[in-house]
Structure formats: structure tokens, C-alpha cells
Structure 1
Amino acid sequence: MSYNLFIAYDLHSPGQSYDLVRDRIKSLGKFHQFQYSLFYVHTQYSSEEAFRFVASVMDSNDKLAVIDASGGMVSTWDRPPIDEINAIWHAP
């Protein structure tokens, strides 16, 4: 089964291993990075599995949200990659 997940995080001092957290998120599957700490991922992992996987490289005072999205809309901004996002969203 495939899942469409939104993953957001805040990293607090000490630590702040941004590269490690982003690499974990990117390794979940096809992704699009909307903002610095907001990703959309098309993955075989459930929200619970993805949460545990990403949280394992975070500090205990960091914040993480993994949201299973069955549908959604994104507002337009300067040249949004809508075709690329839709190609990921609708992938098998």
C-alpha cells in the first residue's frame, strides 16, 4: 500500500542535525520539499512507521509531525512545480 505523507519538523538546540533528518525523510520515497522543514512524501511506510524512522535521528526536544493525506490542495506561488507534485501524488 502507498501513503501520501506530509512531514514537518522543528529542531531545537542542542543538536539540530538538519542534514540527517532531511536525508531520513528523503529516503522514505519520492518527495517534494515545500519549505525548509515541510516535505510531502509518497511512500510505502505508514505514518506511524515514518514517524518512528525519522524520530530515531532526532533529539528528544525536537518536534515532528507526520500526517497521512488522502487528498489535498496547494496554493499557487511563483512557478510552483504542480506537474511534478501531481506525478508523485498519483504514482502507484
Structure 2
Amino acid sequence: MSKPYILSYDLHSPGQRYDDVAKAIKSFGIFYIKILESTWLLRSDLSPQEMTDRLGKVVDSNDSFLVMEATNYYQGHLTQEKWKFIKENIFYR
């Protein structure tokens, strides 16, 4: 059963393999959206440990990231398109 997750990262020099990180994140689930510069919301059947293991293969040792389950209690300042996607694909009922 899929769950909603938030994933955020900081990629430091040298390296900064943004394309590889984005490709890995997109492989975690059917629904994903980049909501901020280095923050994604996604819906996945994978556990946080499985995502960490996969993402760990494409980041450098000096990079950092966080994967955690997201709740259906949220607020923020995003575009209407992003809110619509989040409601329909991340926190659908």
C-alpha cells in the first residue's frame, strides 16, 4: 500500500548530481512533485529505508537528505496547480 512521503536534500560541491537525484526520486513511485527547489512530495510503496538505499547510490558522501512519511495536515504557499496535484495524487482518499 502506498504512502505519502516528503523528501528533501542538499547537494554540496563537488558533485551535485541533480539530474541523477531527480531520476532516482521519480523511480520511487507513480506520483511525485517537486514542490520547492530541493523538496519533493511523492506517493510510494517503498519504505523510507528502501528510498534511502536507492538515493544513497546517486548522492555523494558530503550530501544530505531526509525521507519521512507525510501527513494529511499541511499548509503553505504554493501555486494552485501544485495544491491541486497534491490533493489529487498525494493525499487522495
Query: In which range does the TM-score fall when normalised by the shorter chain?
Result: 0.7 to 0.9
Could you list the runs of 5+ residues in structure 1 that have no partner in the other structure?
none
Structure 2 letter corresponding to 1:2: S
1:22 is displaced (CA, Å) by: 0.9
Which residue identity lines up with residue 34 of structure 1 in the other structure? I
Larger CA deviation: 17-26 vs 79-88:
79-88
SS at match of 1:6: strand
Residue correspondences, number:
92
What CA deviation, in whole Å up to 9, does each residue of 1:11-35 have, x standing for no partner? 1111110000011111111101111
In the TM superposition, residue 80 of structure 1 has moved relative to its aligned partner by 4.7
- Deviations 1:25-84 (Å, cap 9, x if unpaired)? 111111011111100010110111111111211001100100112323132345353221
Equivalent residues in 2 for 1:9-20, closer than 5 Å: 9-20=9-20
Matched, 1:68 2:69: yes
User: Unaligned 5+ residue runs, structure 2?
Assistant: none
Name the CA distance, whole Å, in 2 between partners of 1:81 and 1:2.
Answer: 20
- Looking at structure 2, the residues matched to 24 and 64 of structure 1 have their Cα atoms a distance apart, in angstroms, of 13
Equivalence for 2:39: 38
Identity %: 30
Q: Distance in 1 between matches of 2:54 and 2:13?
A: 21
Taking the aligned partners of 2:78 and 2:69, their CA distance within structure 1 comes to: 23
The Cα RMSD (Å) is: 1.7
**Alignment correspondent of 2:22:** 22
Per the normalisation by structure 1, the TM-score is 0.87
Tell me which stretches of 4 or more aligned residues in structure 1 moved more than 2 Å: 76-81
